[in-house]
């Protein structure tokens, strides 16, 4: 960190050897095998070229070397940058850097830096060719119809995927660097005349204020810095997506999209509880079908949160049930209490999920069969679980997996666990007190100043209708009222 701060005040020297010695020392040449230094003489002047092996296009580099060899001494004396740009390198982005911190940033980001003897600035040529995978459909946001491309780990490719869908000259992509050592690129995307620019300024200011060596966990680290980490609040205050079409539609609605280099997930801010319960599949079907799918999903989310504690309360108090609900109780008692059964089953499902994540793909099916047919069936036969416990755990697990947002599913899982414990200890009184506490937590939560339960609290009937019913696109209000920009200075 101290080294980085001192580099900002070091200008590029006219002394060629002084520049080379300083860069070799700081970049670890030749100790770092991937830092490539090429020294050559052109027109009687020494030239040093720095690049990172594996991050440059070797064919383009060869063309640049040919262009340099063709230069005359007179071309290098006056203004090497102008000669290269106007006379030789016409199809690449070329700029200059006059301080060493800029030189280090560009070299380690992929561009090539050229030092010419007698010049007090470095020539930066963008020849980046990042190793990257092809845009593929995200595993957790699949649709039956629609685009199959998804974000990748390369920032430039991700911004291009958004630009391809939004050819709006007002679409802005502001780039900032985070990390005193990593210098990770973070892009803030928004539409200038649609988004609330006060929110954009705050997000940009908070990102620029991040003080850390690096952000290897990418967007999650950025989220915790700009929103703070609340220990007792599991609910996500930004929405993550790996689909460019989802990011594009949120930009049109006035949201801000934050992209972090090296991550295929982007953040959408601000976010409400209802932002996490909608899915692109609903808008790939007819409105009535989309509305049906949405309500099925709502039912699954409700079941994932409330069904298990409600059943536990009913099973612990069978005398409170009317006759037509007698089947809800336990028909065959197990050797341990119901609360213990439910907790063991909950932890078992989480353990199975973790085991599936860490199991190689070909063995994942075998692991599921072992859990379902061997562990579950044997646990019932030996009296560890009642059959009803296994059934209700399976139902709430399906509801959790049906939640579009993985982060919301995990948050609801913790809330359900809290409600189960409260119900097991205090019966239905515990359930209602626990539900009130969860609702109070959601009511108190805000995302960039936006209430988490909006449009339910504060109530906005028009917006609430759009959430409950999947409206046809021609009659759907394009932008949420709470995100519409007020009269403001249009310069972000």
Laid out side by side, the sheet with 45-52 consists of 35-42, 45-52, 112-116, 122-125, 94-97
For 45-131, strand residue ranges (E) read 45-52, 94-97, 112-116, 122-125
What pLDDT was estimated at residue 6?
45
Q: How far is C-alpha 421 from the chain's CA centre? A: 32
| CA–CA dist 346, 217 (Å, integer) | 28
> Residue 140: which residues within 8 A CB-CB, separation 6 or more?
242, 406
Q: Looking at the DSSP assignment, which residues form a beta bridge with residue 250? A: none
Element housing 272 (H / E): none
For 428-467, strand residue ranges (E) read 446-447, 450-451
Closest CA to 115 of 88, 66, 87, 80: 80
HSE-CB of 360 using CA atoms within 13 angstroms: 2
What pLDDT was estimated at residue 200?
94
Cα–Cα distances in angstroms (integers) from residue 3 to residues 211, 235, 370, in the given order: 15, 38, 54
Element housing 242 (H / E): none
What pairing do the DSSP bridges indicate for beta strands 256-260 and 239-241? unpaired
Element housing 276 (H / E): none
Whether the Cβ atoms of residue 431 and residue 418 lie closer than 8 Å to each other: no
What pairing do the DSSP bridges indicate for beta strands 122-125 and 171-178? unpaired
Closest CA to 202 of 481, 488, 459: 488
Burial of residue 342 (CB within 10 Å: 0-12, 13-18, 19+) is buried
Whether the Cβ atoms of residue 449 and residue 256 lie closer than 8 Å to each other: no
> The tokens 């005349």 sit on which residue?
193
| CA–CA dist 32, 323 (Å, integer) | 77
What pairing do the DSSP bridges indicate for beta strands 45-52 and 239-241? unpaired
| CA–CA dist 445, 453 (Å, integer) | 8
> Residue 339: which residues within 8 A CB-CB, separation 6 or more?
312, 420, 421, 424, 425
What pLDDT was estimated at residue 327?
75
What pLDDT was estimated at residue 209?
92
Taking only the tens of pLDDT, the chain with its 492 residues reads: 344 444 457 999 999 999 999 999 999 998 999 999 999 887 778 889 999 998 888 888 887 787 777 766 555 555 655 556 555 666 678 888 999 999 999 999 889 999 988 888 898 988 888 777 888 888 888 888 888 899 999 998 999 999 999 999 999 999 999 988 888 999 999 999 899 999 999 999 999 999 999 888 888 889 989 987 777 899 999 999 999 999 999 999 899 999 999 899 999 999 999 989 988 888 888 888 888 999 999 999 999 999 999 999 998 888 887 777 777 877 777 778 889 989 998 998 888 788 777 777 666 666 666 666 666 677 777 777 888 888 899 899 999 988 999 999 999 999 999 999 999 999 999 999 999 999 999 999 999 989 999 999 888 888 888 888 877 766 666 677 777 665 555 555
Cα–Cα distances in angstroms (integers) from residue 414 to residues 223, 238, 239, 300, in the given order: 20, 18, 18, 16
| CA–CA dist 176, 186 (Å, integer) | 5
Domain spans in the chain, listed from the N-terminal domain onward: 2-125, 155-271, 283-450
Whether the Cβ atoms of residue 280 and residue 141 lie closer than 8 Å to each other: yes
Whether the Cβ atoms of residue 260 and residue 158 lie closer than 8 Å to each other: no
């Amino acid at each position: 960190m101290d080294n980085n701060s001192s580099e900002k005040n070091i200008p590029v020297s006219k002394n060629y050897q002084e520049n080379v010695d300083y860069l070799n020392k700081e970049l670890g040449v030749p100790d770092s095998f991937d830092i490539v230094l090429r020294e050559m003489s052109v027109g009687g002047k020494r030239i040093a070229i720095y690049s990172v092996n594996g991050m440059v296009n070797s064919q383009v580099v060869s063309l640049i070397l040919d262009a340099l060899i063709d230069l005359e001494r007179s071309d290098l004396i006056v203004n090497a940058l102008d000669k290269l740009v106007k006379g030789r390198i016409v199809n690449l982005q070329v700029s200059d850097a006059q301080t060493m911190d800029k030189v280090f940033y560009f070299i380690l980001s992929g561009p090539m830096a050229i030092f010419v003897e007698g010049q007090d600035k470095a020539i930066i040529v963008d020849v980046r060719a990042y190793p990257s995978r092809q845009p593929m459909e995200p595993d957790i946001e699949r649709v039956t119809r629609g685009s199959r491309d998804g974000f990748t780990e390369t920032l430039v490719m991700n911004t291009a995927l958004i630009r391809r869908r939004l050819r709006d000259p007002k679409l802005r992509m502001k780039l900032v660097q985070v990390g005193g050592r990593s210098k990770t690129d973070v892009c803030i995307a928004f539409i200038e005349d649609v988004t609330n620019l006060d929110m954009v300024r705050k997000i940009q200011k908070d990102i620029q204020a991040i003080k850390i060596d690096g952000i290897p966990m990418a967007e999650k680290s950025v989220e915790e810095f700009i929103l703070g980490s609340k220990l007792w609040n599991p609910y996500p205050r930004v929405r993550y997506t790996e689909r460019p079409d989802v990011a594009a539609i949120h930009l049109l609605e006035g949201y801000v999209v934050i992209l972090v280099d090296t991550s295929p997930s982007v953040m959408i801010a601000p976010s409400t509880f209802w932002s996490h319960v909608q899915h692109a599949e609903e808008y790939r079907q007819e409105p009535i079908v989309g509305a049906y799918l949405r309500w099925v999903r709502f039912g699954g989310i409700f079941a994932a949160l409330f069904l298990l504690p409600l059943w536990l309360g009913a099973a612990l108090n069978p005398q409170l049930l009317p006759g037509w609900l007698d089947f809800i109780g336990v028909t065959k008692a197990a050797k341990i209490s119901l609360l213990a059964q439910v907790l063991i089953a909950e932890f078992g499902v989480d353990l199975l999920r973790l085991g599936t994540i860490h199991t190689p793909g070909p063995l994942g099916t075998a692991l599921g069969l072992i859990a379902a047919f061997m562990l579950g069936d044997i646990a019932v036969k030996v009296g560890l679980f009642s059959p009803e416990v296994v059934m209700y755990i399976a139902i709430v697990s399906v509801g959790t997996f049906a939640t579009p947002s993985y982060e919301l599913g995990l948050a609801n899982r913790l809330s359900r666990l809290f409600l189960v414990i409260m119900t097991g200890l205090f019966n239905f009184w515990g359930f209602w007190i626990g539900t009130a506490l969860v609702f109070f937590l959601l009511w108190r939560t805000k995302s960039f100043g936006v209430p988490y339960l909006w449009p339910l609290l504060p109530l906005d009937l028009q917006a609430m209708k759009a959430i409950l019913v999947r409206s046809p696109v021609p009659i759907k209000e394009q932008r949420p009222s709470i995100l519409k920009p007020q009269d403001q200075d249009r310069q972000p």
